[in-house]
Structure 1
Amino acid sequence: MDRISAQLAFLIEADRLKSVLRATKLCDKSRRENTAEHSWHIALYALVMAEHATRPVNVDRVIKMLLLHDLVEIDAGDTPIHGAVDADHQAAIEQKAADRIFGLLPADQNAEFRALWEEFEAAQSDDAVFAKSIDRVQPVISNLETDGGTWPEYNVTPDQLETRVGVKVRRGAPAIWDALKTRIDLWFTQNRPGSVKK
Structure 2
Amino acid sequence: MNAIKGILNVLNLAEKLKFEMRHSWLSNGRQESVAEHTWRVGLMAVLLEPYIEESMDMAKLLKMIMIHDLVEAEARDIPAFDTLYDADRKEQKRLAEHAAMKNIEAMLDEAPGSDLRQLWLEFEAKETFEAKVANALDKLEAQLQHNEADMETWLEVEKEMIYLLSPHTAFHPVLEELRKAIVADAEAKLHVR
Per the alignment, in what secondary structure is the counterpart of residue 162 of structure 1? helix
Name the structure 2 match of 1:21. 21
The 1-side partners of 2:53 and 2:169 are apart by 10
- The one of 113, 116, 119 equivalent to 1:116 is 119
Question: Map of 1:148-159 to 2, 5 A cutoff?
Answer: 148=151, 150-151=153-154, 153-158=155-160
Q: Contact between 2:162 and 2:186, CA under 8 Å: does it hold in 1?
A: no
- Unpaired stretches in structure 1, ≥5 consecutive residues: 192-198
1:76 equivalenced with 2:75 (yes/no): yes
Specify whether residues 97 and 51 from structure 1 end up closer, same or farther in structure 2 by C-alpha distance, changes over 3 A only.
same
1:180 equivalenced with 2:182 (yes/no): yes
Aligned length: 187
1:131 equivalenced with 2:148 (yes/no): no
CA RMSD of aligned residues (A): 2.0
Name the structure 1 match of 2:93. 90
Q: Contact between 2:163 and 2:183, CA under 8 Å: does it hold in 1?
A: no
2:162 is matched by which residue type in structure 1? L
Specify whether residues 78 and 34 from structure 1 end up closer, same or farther in structure 2 by C-alpha distance, changes over 3 A only.
same
Q: Contact between 1:58 and 1:127, CA under 8 Å: does it hold in 2?
A: yes
2:37 is matched by which residue type in structure 1? H
Name the structure 2 match of 1:99. 102
Per the alignment, in what secondary structure is the counterpart of residue 167 of structure 1? helix
Specify whether residues 154 and 98 from structure 1 end up closer, same or farther in structure 2 by C-alpha distance, changes over 3 A only.
farther
Q: Contact between 1:42 and 1:138, CA under 8 Å: does it hold in 2?
A: yes
The 1-side partners of 2:153 and 2:127 are apart by 29
Shift of 1:52: 4.2
1:93 is matched by which residue type in structure 2? A
- Unpaired stretches in structure 2, ≥5 consecutive residues: none
- TM-score normalized with structure 2 length: 0.87
